[in-house]
Structure 1
Amino acid sequence: MERFVGIPYVPHGRSYDGADCWGILFLYFRDVRGIEIPTYSAEMRDVEFRRREIARLVAAEKGQHWFEVEAPAPGDGVLMRVGRDESHVGIFLGGGRMLHSEGPHPSQIERMSDMRWRDRITGFFRYSPC
């Protein structure tokens, strides 16, 4: 996971030169799991990165390709609330840790039990291409 730590935060970014939270998830699934998930970069640019619109994209993915799980496994998505909206994602690493990117900070690994995150996590999701 070291290659995903320290990637600069760039809104709508989908590369190692810069990525937002979905960009980190996109890179992980593409480069580690060999799965192409939607980038949503154009959609996010169109809505000028409004969190409510991002939350709608996340909601659209739920139940289509992402299914909620009670007990996460490494590589599952972590969904978090920002304000009232579920609009932030990370990658569950196991051991109570997650990888994510939230501007203006570069991508990093944090404990989900940290005060900043523990009350914001709303669920864990597993990807299925079917």
Structure 2
Amino acid sequence: MQKFVGIPYVPHGREYTGADCWGILFLYYRDVLGMPVPAYSAEMDTREFKHGSIAPLVAEEREKHWHLVDAPQLGDCVLMRAGRHDSHVGVFLGQGRMLHSEGPHPSVIDRIGDMRWRNRISGFYRLNECSHS
């Protein structure tokens, strides 16, 4: 798990040399779970980096490829609000922890129950089986 901690925050990044929150999820799913998820780097480049402009893309991805779960398991997506919009993601690691990157800070493992996060969590989502076959 240590290779995912400390990755520099780079907007729209999808590499170990730099990644945003979706980039961390992208790398984890590709390299740990062996499940491809869309990179969305090209589409993200066309949007202004504002939570409101990212929110429709998050909603579209959630509706197409993910389903809400009550009890998260290792690797599930943690969807969080930034202001009024669902626009931040992390990877659930179990034991109340998540891996994520929120600019301008490098990727970290945080406790979901920490004051900073507990009121921002919109839900836990699992990739649909048909999405990665």
Length-normalised TM-score, structure 1: 0.96
Distance 1:63 1:84 in 2: 18
Q: What does residue 125 of structure 2 align with? A: 125
Distance 1:129 1:88 in 2: 23
Distance 2:117 2:76 in 1: 17
Letter in 2 for 1:67: H
Q: Give the structure with the higher percent helix.
A: 2
Q: Which runs of 4+ in 1 moved over 4 A?
A: none
Helix, strand or coil at the partner of 1:63: helix
5 Å-filtered alignment, 1:108-119, equals 108-119=108-119
Runs of at least 5 residues in structure 2 that lack an aligned partner in the other structure: none
Q: What does residue 74 of structure 1 align with? A: 74
Letter in 1 for 2:29: F
**What value does the CA root-mean-square deviation take over the aligned residues?**
0.9
Letter in 2 for 1:24: I
Q: What does residue 11 of structure 1 align with? A: 11
Distance 1:31 1:49 in 2: 26
Q: What does residue 88 of structure 1 align with? A: 88
Q: How many residues align?
A: 130
Give percent identity, aligned residues only.
Answer: 67
Letter in 2 for 1:86: D
Length-normalised TM-score, structure 2: 0.94
Distance 1:25 1:19 in 2: 9
Distance 1:92 1:65 in 2: 17
Letter in 2 for 1:2: Q
Helix, strand or coil at the partner of 1:62: helix
Runs of at least 5 residues in structure 1 that lack an aligned partner in the other structure: none
Q: Deviations over 1:75-120 (max 9, x none)?
A: 0000000000000000001111100000111000000111110100
